[in-house]
Chains A and B, each alone.
Chain A
């Protein structure tokens, strides 16, 4: 079975602080994909990043960075110099070869509150 755990239910930071959102996954597949999605207060879901299991390189996109470590089954998301607009619920998700990559399993999400 596949599982995604986001142990941090809610995180509160002050603007300009750095913050890391944790994501731990479980899968028996050797080939799988990991994702992060953002859900701002308006409610829509926005794709942030996709990573496949063969690419462990860290990725940076502006103030966002992702650290993928197969050894610890983690795919953590860091926001540098957070801003109020980063306030949202962030979801980590996983799909694996055993379902033909047709089913995406989401974590329960981490609510990030960035105050001015």
Chain B
């Protein structure tokens, strides 16, 4: 049972480049979300999805796009990377609504934007 799988684990981008962080879960969870973790700021919610075809904004959505075409996948897109997006990104899924049950996290993706 793989759980939540994120790729890539490390990425270096130049300002203005675009990229997609992939997230897949094999637990048939309806709820999926993306967080970013920055020093001294904890984890902040970027976007979340309560099921295929449904997405919504979290606390810090600017500069990021998401889509949810299947239950399993929830990619996070950076359309034009900025140094402020240098961070560690975590994808998470939950059987219940994201704020009621246990969140299962991926291993994280460390992104550096030069």
Chain A interface (Cβ within 8 Å of chain B)?
4, 9, 33, 37, 43-47, 50, 91, 93, 95-96, 99-109
Q: B114 near A: Cβ within 8 Å?
A: no
Query: Inside 8 A of A9's CB, which chain B residues have their CB?
Result: 40
- Cβ of A91 and Cβ of B42 under 8 Å apart? yes
* 8 Å CB contact of B98 from A4, A44, A46, A95: A95
- Cβ of A43 and Cβ of B108 under 8 Å apart? yes
* 8 Å CB contact of A47 from B48, B97, B103: B103
Q: How many contacts A-B (CB < 8 Å)?
A: 65
- Cβ of A33 and Cβ of B42 under 8 Å apart? no
In the bound assembly, the distance between CA atoms of A107 and B88 in angstroms comes to 16
- Cβ of B99 and Cβ of A96 under 8 Å apart? yes
What bracket does the count of chain B residues touching chain A fall in? 20 to 34
- Cβ of B43 and Cβ of A106 under 8 Å apart? yes
CB distance from B44 to the nearest CB of A (A): 7
* 8 Å CB contact of B41 from A93, A100, A108: A108
Query: Inside 8 A of B90's CB, which chain A residues have their CB?
Result: 45
Query: Inside 8 A of A96's CB, which chain B residues have their CB?
Result: 99
Query: Inside 8 A of B88's CB, which chain A residues have their CB?
Result: 43
Most buried by B among A46, A91, A102, A108: A102
- Cβ of A106 and Cβ of B44 under 8 Å apart? yes
Q: Which residue of chain B is the closest to A37 with respect to CB atoms?
A: B103
